[in-house]
Amino acid sequence: MQPSGKYIVAGVDGSETSLGAARWAASFARALGLPVHLVHSSPAPGPMPDAACTPAELAEKQREYQTELLTTAEASLRQWAPEVELKLVADTESPAKGLVEAAAQGAMIVLGATGAGSVERWLLGSTALRVANNAHCPVAIWRGDPDNAALDNRPIVVGTDGSPASEAATDLAFEWAQLLSVTVVPLRTWTDSSVVGAAMPTAMQLLGPTGLMVDWEAIARAEAETLSKIIAPYLKQYPDAVVQPLSRRGSAARELLHALDDAQMAIVGSRGWGRFRGALLGSTSQNLLHRADRPIVIYRTTDT
């Protein structure tokens, strides 16, 4: 099921990376016909006994800082995408909580992969991952050149394995690919242990060492056919989408990264709401977030 939403949230923190992410968000908003909410959230200063300012004065300085930060980002986006409607949102919650709350009716949250004065892995361990773990809409972690943040004609890659977690991601990838007139690349991966274990769980007991003789070409054909069956409903739902299915032998994270070499973004599904809402993203999602050099979109679905 594709997400619904009334706007796109772009988190800004004053860094060039967050500005690039906001520009990418504006490019998407223009294509989707949605406004962009520029959001900055940071806690108000606490009591400072040695400071010359009173708590009220500190709070006012915080508001001035947020206003300047947001208006600077707004001015940049007005030049980048003048036709996109913008709304400025300042909050005093933690960055992650403020962004998630701001996206209560959002279609997507977009964040830069680094923050002002932050080490990349530290940020992904705090704000970005917390947002991805709690948002009710897709979350895009953006990487790229802030001055060249436009969408382009390269494909959209999506991890597609037939699981409930990947269904919404696959639907979203087909929808966006058709809307943007780009190719969608549904990627299914498989490993030696998974296919052999599923096909011949008792082969060694029954056949001895000969049970290890595997027709890998036949398995590759079978896996490709499985992928064809998985994406068949999407081909009917999105008849104008250009599709290039890929079935590859290897780990999901590695093969998605390889496919990204020729793509503009990747979309992956991840479970985590409901009973396990606090659970972290899976290893594939985290690997991509830390290692990809272009946008990764995480779409979480409800645990059953």
At 247 the pLDDT is 94
Q: What is the pTM of this model?
A: 0.84
In the numeric block, which tokens belong to residue 270? Answer: 């991840």
Q: Name the pLDDT band for 16 (thresholds 50, 70, 90).
A: very high
The packing angle between helices 192-199 and 216-237, to 10°, is 100
Check pLDDT > 90 for residue 27. yes
Q: Name the pLDDT band for 127 (thresholds 50, 70, 90).
A: confident
- 134-184 pLDDT, tens digit each: 898 999 999 888 989 999 999 999 999 888 888 999 999 999 999 999 999
- Residue/partner pairs of 89-94 with CB below 8 Å, 24 or more apart: 89/37, 89/38, 89/39, 89/40, 90/39, 90/40, 90/41, 90/63, 90/66, 91/39, 91/40, 91/41, 91/42, 92/41, 92/42, 92/43, 92/44, 92/62, 93/41, 93/43, 94/41, 94/42, 94/43
Distance of alpha carbon 8 from alpha carbon 107, whole angstroms: 5
The packing angle between helices 55-80 and 16-32, to 10°, is 50
Neighbours of 288 (CB within 10 A): 22
Check pLDDT > 70 for residue 200. no
Q: Given the DSSP bridges, would you call strands 242-243 and 86-91 parallel, antiparallel or unpaired?
A: unpaired
Chain-centroid distance of CA 42 in Å reads: 22
Percentage of the chain with pLDDT > 90? 57
Distance of alpha carbon 94 from alpha carbon 244, whole angstroms: 41
In the numeric block, which tokens belong to residue 269? Answer: 């599904």
